[in-house]
Amino acid sequence: MSTIPLGTYLFNRIHQLGISRIMGCPGDFNMTLLDHIFNVEGLDWIGCCNELNAAYACDGYGRTRGLPGVLVTTYGVGELSAMNGVSGAFAEHVPMLHIVGTPARPEMEYNMWMHHTLPGGSEAEAPDHRVYSRMSAPLRCCSAALENLDTVADEIDRVLYTIFRKSLPGYLFVPLDMVNAPVPVAGLEKPLKLEIVNPDPQLEDALVLEILDGLYKAKKPAILADILARRHRARELVMELVGQTMIPSFSTDLAKGFVDEDHPAFVGQYNGRLSRPGVAEAMEDSDFVLNIGPLITDNNTGGFTRFIDDKLTVMLHPAYVSVFGVRHDNLHFLPILEKLVAKLDVSKLSNTRKPTDIVVGESKKTESPADISTSYFYPYIGDHFLKANDVVFADSGTAQYAINDAKFPKNVNFTTQLYYSSIGFALPAALGASIAQREIDEGNLGPKGRVVLFEGDGSSMMTIQELSTIARYGYNPTIFLINNEGYTIERAIHGPEAKYNDITPHWKWTELFSTFGASPDKYFATKVETRAELETLLSSKEFADAEHKVRFVEVKMDRLDIPWRLSEQVAEIAKKTAKWFTEYSTKMGEVPRAT
């Protein structure tokens, strides 16, 4: 039987998914494995500056392509450095495959004192080589240690399928002595089965009939699209449902842009009490809510101010389906949504409320002594810069709140890590998105789109090294660096003038490319401090002609320019926290303390 090395087999199987680039950092336990990337025609390597950034990049790739970003690290020091990035992908349902090159099987079996290991239970006890894999167990949906030649092919397929079905990170551990082990090539001839199938089709059919019956009877139904609908590749189905029914449709802040904001059925973003005037009232007055892909967190519910009656709601989640308060676990929503759209009879709809009946007021504005304020900047960018099919990132800071006042064009793929909120995530994630978008363009797999990043100076300092990687590989995102002199989001929460919210001042941001050794033909960098400068720049031929380069624009804003959604969410959370602490203290027989 014809065989090939395990490393070549693994990367061929990954490439069969349509993935063309592998990310990560070399280390002595994975370098022989990395050699096999170059044995696969059409597969290439993107070396990142560190493992954390590589994990963020894989996250951004996964959000853009809907396929797992593939991360390769070395055992111990590398895999632990990546763990925060993997954790964020797990929290926000992003597919990722983390491949860890480990010591050889005999070295692990005999607990040898290898470098990168930890002593056992005491400082004199031999290392436990499996300890790191146990550390990552809560951050993954599946894993396999490729240690048995009889099962490696099936284990690789199982992990890839589970990652795809659950849209979560999974792990493969590849021992050093297994990299060149012979694997039958015949396994590559079997197609990867990625179709999502639930165990009980009859239950699916019964639930679809129950959901449609509720929809047909409703006088004021609503569709609420949330981020897990995007993570699980349901956008076309959701837009078809919105277009067929034309009932009032909403998205959450995490899913901004998922329902096209210029669609006649779109009403607005529902984020509890932090919605624009009229939006929350309309959502909460609905007598039927189809909530597709919910991720119900503090930041995605306006500080827990979401008030939707479960008994009037259908929740379509990748792990369960809840119909009017009755929950059915271990059901993936995608096959049910497919049947729902296929069986829908619009002639049976009895809704009397049209999207145009709902009056949505203007968003609030915040004052700022700076000429460029958040209230001005993001709506202006939405109207004068963003284009259909853009891939937009806003890092965890003021940007992820203020950008909600920008109107998005059609089919914008928007990402903000609003739930996990690891600052510094977005810059390397934009690298990953650029990698994904290049693959999409190369294969004509979808519309061409630009990658656009909005990130604060404090966030950027966390992961700025990947600016060099972006330039090195010739990617061309547009980056708006918001220079507001520190951690403004933290100033909003606590300590507006506290020293711990300050950062090293006066970085020469626009000179970083030359510091990183990028040639001038790879980047365009400038700074704007006034509205006139920004507007002149965005309309200039020089800026337009630089679209094939990295475009880097430093935008000066005031250090206390706090978007209204952020300040009001902080206030909402403070009220609820005080209430919870009072209740808890009473329960524990303690005197309530300030929080």
Tell me, what's the pLDDT at 184?
Answer: 96
State yes or no: pLDDT of 1 exceeds 80: no
Give the tens place of pLDDT for each residue, 422-439.
999 999 999 999 999 999
Q: How confident is the model at residue 578 (pLDDT cuts 50, 70, 90)?
A: confident
Nearest-angstrom CA–CA distance, 469 and 457: 18
Neighbours of 222 (CB within 10 A): 28
Tell me, what's the pLDDT at 544?
Answer: 97
Tell me, what's the pLDDT at 585?
Answer: 87
Tell me, what's the pLDDT at 125?
Answer: 85
State yes or no: pLDDT of 595 exceeds 70: no
Give me the residues paired with residue 474 across strands.
none
Q: How confident is the model at residue 124 (pLDDT cuts 50, 70, 90)?
A: confident
Q: First CA to last CA across the chain, in angstroms?
A: 68
State yes or no: pLDDT of 372 exceeds 90: yes
User: Same CATH fold, 374-562 and 201-357?
Assistant: yes
Q: How confident is the model at residue 529 (pLDDT cuts 50, 70, 90)?
A: very high
Nearest-angstrom CA–CA distance, 379 and 372: 12
Q: What are the angstrom distances between the C-alpha of 317 and each of 180, 222, 331, 335?
A: 41, 17, 8, 11
User: Residue ranges of the domains in the chain?
Assistant: 3-189, 201-357, 374-562, 567-595
Alpha helices (runs of H) in 92-184, residue ranges in sequence order = 105-109, 131-135, 152-166
Q: Tokens at residue 53, please?
A: 């950034």
Q: How confident is the model at residue 280 (pLDDT cuts 50, 70, 90)?
A: very high
Provide the percentage of residues in the chain whose pLDDT is more than 70: 99
Tell me, what's the pLDDT at 33?
Answer: 98
Provide the mean pLDDT of the chain.
95
Q: Report, as an integer, the average pLDDT of 200-225.
A: 98
Give the tens place of pLDDT for each residue, 3-62.
999 999 999 999 999 999 999 999 999 999 999 999 999 999 999 999 999 999 999 999
Q: How confident is the model at residue 594 (pLDDT cuts 50, 70, 90)?
A: low
Q: What are the angstrom distances between the C-alpha of 176 and each of 74, 114, 196, 215, 504?
A: 10, 13, 34, 56, 42
Q: What are the angstrom distances between the C-alpha of 120 and each of 100, 109, 136, 333?
A: 21, 14, 18, 44
Give the tens place of pLDDT for each residue, 330-363.
999 999 999 999 999 999 999 999 999 999 999 9
Q: Where is average pLDDT lowest: 133-137, 311-315, 407-411, 585-589?
A: 585-589
Give the tens place of pLDDT for each residue, 165-199.
999 999 999 999 999 999 999 999 999 989 999 99
**Which amino acid belongs to residue 176?**
L
CATH class assigned to 374-562: alpha beta
Homologous superfamily (CATH) of 3-189 is Thiamin diphosphate (ThDP)-binding fold, Pyr/PP domains (3.40.50.970)
Q: Which among 265, 287, 286, 268 has a CA at the least distance from the CA of 277? A: 268
Q: Where is average pLDDT lowest: 115-129, 300-314, 416-430, 443-457?
A: 115-129
Q: Which fold has domain 201-357?
A: Rossmann fold (3.40.50)
Give the tens place of pLDDT for each residue, 533-544.
999 999 999 999
Looking only at the bridges linking them, the beta strands covering 320-323 and 313-316 are: antiparallel
